[in-house]
Each structure stands twice: as structure tokens, then as C-alpha cells.
Amino acid sequence: MPDRQPHDPVLLDRCLELLTPALTRHADDGSGAVLVDATLGAGGHAERFLTELSGLHLIGLDRDQTALSLAADRLAPFGDRVTFVHTRYDGFWADRDDRNAPRVDGALFDLGVSSMQLDRPERGFSYSHDAPLDMRMDQDAPLTAADIVNTYDKRALTRLLQEYGEERFASRIAGEIVRRRAHTPFQTTSQLVEVLYAMIPAPARRTGGHPAKRTFQALRTAVNGELDSLRAAVPAALEALREGGRIVVMSYQSLEDRIVKGEFATATASRTPAGLPVELPGHEPLFTSLTRGAEKASAEEIDVNPRSASVRLRALEKVSDARSEKAPVRRDGS
């Protein structure tokens, strides 16, 4: 299908406002600064940062090869100021825990399925179009949503729908899936949507949004290992920031936001051993919060950009670097 117009990036101005101070500490144009866009997508956030800060270098990560291709076209005018990496965002950070690994000045995470992916019915992310039951963000990954639906037993399906989709009718749905697939394996999104309409009572369908929303979320999360990836990536990104560096994370579902909230709470906590009446020098928190809780989009932005309705934005600044504190001083003073 032909490419559609890129969607407006969520909370673009706010992301720029929060991250720019970390990217311009040494030069107003961002020269020498490095920003990791951990969820590059079609490159909307990246384009704005590169335009506003003419000296900035951006590392764009995405597991979706189609997204990387589109972003490469969009960001081509910026030449070698952009480095593209085909990886899941935790994959990029996996080998960067060495003391000598290069530091970055900013990190941006825009989590969840992208509007671009939803707009491509053949990818199977949308319950509004009939398509193969796929849901892979990385088209080379082996596991599809159809594999899960057709092979997991009732107990495993129930647990998946409960944990990743917070679906209260999980057991009913799982039982019906197992019953139907015994005769006809699931191949398309419409087959699954039909089950969900049948198994979720009408009153719940009227009040809980589209009946497929939670099940599709659960399957997409499982297929792509999204929560495990997030649990690994956030602390690694925090570690990779330079002192004065900043991180912004935007999540769109409670499970993602719960992980981010927990990691940020740990990062902003005092390192003084519990029970001591005063904070020990050198044990202050390594990070400070830039937001009061999770920020939401304004009514004006939601009206223009409906995808922003469910966003929860959290941001931190690194005020101290434990790795630097522990590093031995060389004879040359560095």
C-alpha cells in the first residue's frame, strides 16, 4: 500500500523543551552532543531535534526495518549527523555497560506501536482491518501472533491476556480460542476479533472501548517482548547518560508506565543506607525528576493528535555519576 503522510509526533514541543538543555550545555547548536532516539519510527521527533540543533548527532534505533527505511529517506538531508541502528532498544544498550563505553547527552523513548505500523493493515497490528495475524515489529523475528494463538494452551493464553492485556474475560476468550482452533487455525485478525465480540459481554463492550483492544495489546506485547525490553533498556540508558544528561520516556499503557515509574523512583532515591537519620555525603540521588509524576497531553494536542490521548511522559536529569565517582584518577589528572 502507498505510504501515508507521517503523523504528528506526540508531545514534540515538550520533548524538545525537556531535552534541549542537556544537548546545548557546551554549544547552543548542540555541537558535540549525542541524542539517542530509541524508538525512531518514521523520524518525526528526530527531524525536529536535528533541525533545531544544527550540531547535534542523533543515533536512531528501531527494530522495524520499514520504519528505518522511511526515516532514512526523511532524515537524508542531515547526512552523517544521523546514525541508524536496526535493533531493539535494549539491544543497543546491552554492550554499553563497560566503564569506558561512550556516554550520551540525551535519550528519548516513544513506546508502543506506532501510527505508521497501525496504518499498514498487512502488519496485523490493527483490529480495524482484516490482515494476517502477525504483529511483529521486526519482520525477521520468528514469533507471530498466529503462533501464539494457535499453539499456547488455555492456561498460557489466559495468563498472557491477563498479564499483558489486563483482560478480565481472559479465561473465556482463551477457552473459545482453543475450541475454535481445533477445527480451523487462526490466520487473520478478523477471525480473532470475531471471538472477542462473542466472548466479551455487550455491557462491557459498551463501556470498555473496542473489545479487541486489550487482547491485541497483549499479543503484540508478547510477540515483541516489549516489557522485557523496556525493563532492560531504561536502567541501561540511565547508566549511559553523562552527568547533566536527560531522558524522556513516553508510554501509552499502564504496564509500560508502571515499569518506567519504578525505574525512575529507584534512580531518584537516596543511596544512603536505610535507617540512618541523615543523608551521607556522596550518597545523594543520582537523578532528579523533571516532571511531577507523569505528564499528559493537553486537550488542544489531543484534539489535533488523537494518539496523544493516552500518553504518559516522565523525564529525569542525571545530577551525579556514580561511575565517575568510582573511577580512579589517572596521573595526567583525567
Asked if 152 and 160 count as a contact pair (C-beta separation under 8 A), the reply is yes
Return the beta strands (E) in 49-134 as ranges: 57-62, 82-86, 104-110
pLDDT above 60 for 160 = yes
Annotated binding residues for S-adenosyl-L-methionine: 43-45, 62, 89, 110, 117
Quick one: which of 97, 74, 248, 43 has its CA closest to 59?
43
What is the Cα–Cα distance from 210 to 214, expressed in whole angstroms? 8
Annotated binding residues: 43-45, 62, 89, 110, 117
Question: What's the pLDDT tens digit per position in 193-205?
Answer: 999 999 998 887 7
What grid cell was written down for 143? 514469533
pLDDT above 90 for 101 = no
Q: Rounded to the nearest 5 degrees, what angle is found at the Cα of 227, between the Cα atoms of 246 and 101?
A: 45
Question: What's the pLDDT tens digit per position in 221-252?
Answer: 999 999 999 999 999 999 999 999 999 999 99
Question: What's the pLDDT tens digit per position in 205-215?
Answer: 777 678 889 99
What is the Cα–Cα distance from 322 to 27, expressed in whole angstroms? 25
SS3 per residue for 204-238:
HHHHCCCCCHHHHHHHHHHHHCHHHHHHHHHHHHH
Domains of the chain: 12-116+226-321 (3.40.50.150), 122-224 (1.10.150.170)
| Section 296-312 average pLDDT | 92
Q: Beta partners for 295? A: 313
pLDDT above 60 for 3 = no
Query: DSSP character for 96?
Result: -
DSSP 266-286: HHTS--SPTT-SSPPTT-S-S
β pairing state of 241-251 and 312-318: antiparallel
What is the Cα–Cα distance from 110 to 163, expressed in whole angstroms? 22
CB atoms within 10 A of CB 68: 21
pLDDT confidence tier of residue 275, bands split at 50, 70 and 90:
low
Choice among 3-12, 159-168, 249-258 with the minimum mean pLDDT: 3-12
Choice among 56-60, 187-191, 268-272 with the minimum mean pLDDT: 268-272
| Section 96-112 average pLDDT | 78
Asked if 257 and 284 count as a contact pair (C-beta separation under 8 A), the reply is no
**Type of residue found at 167:** E
pLDDT above 90 for 191 = yes
Computed over every residue of the chain, the mean pLDDT equals 87
What is the Cα–Cα distance from 308 to 292, expressed in whole angstroms? 18
pTM equals 0.88
Dihedral of the alpha carbons of 281, 282, 286, 288, in degrees to the nearest 10: 30
Quick one: which of 195, 193, 191, 189 has its CA closest to 176?
195
What grid cell was written down for 328? 580512579
| Section 261-271 average pLDDT | 90
Choice among 9-13, 112-116, 128-132 with the minimum mean pLDDT: 112-116
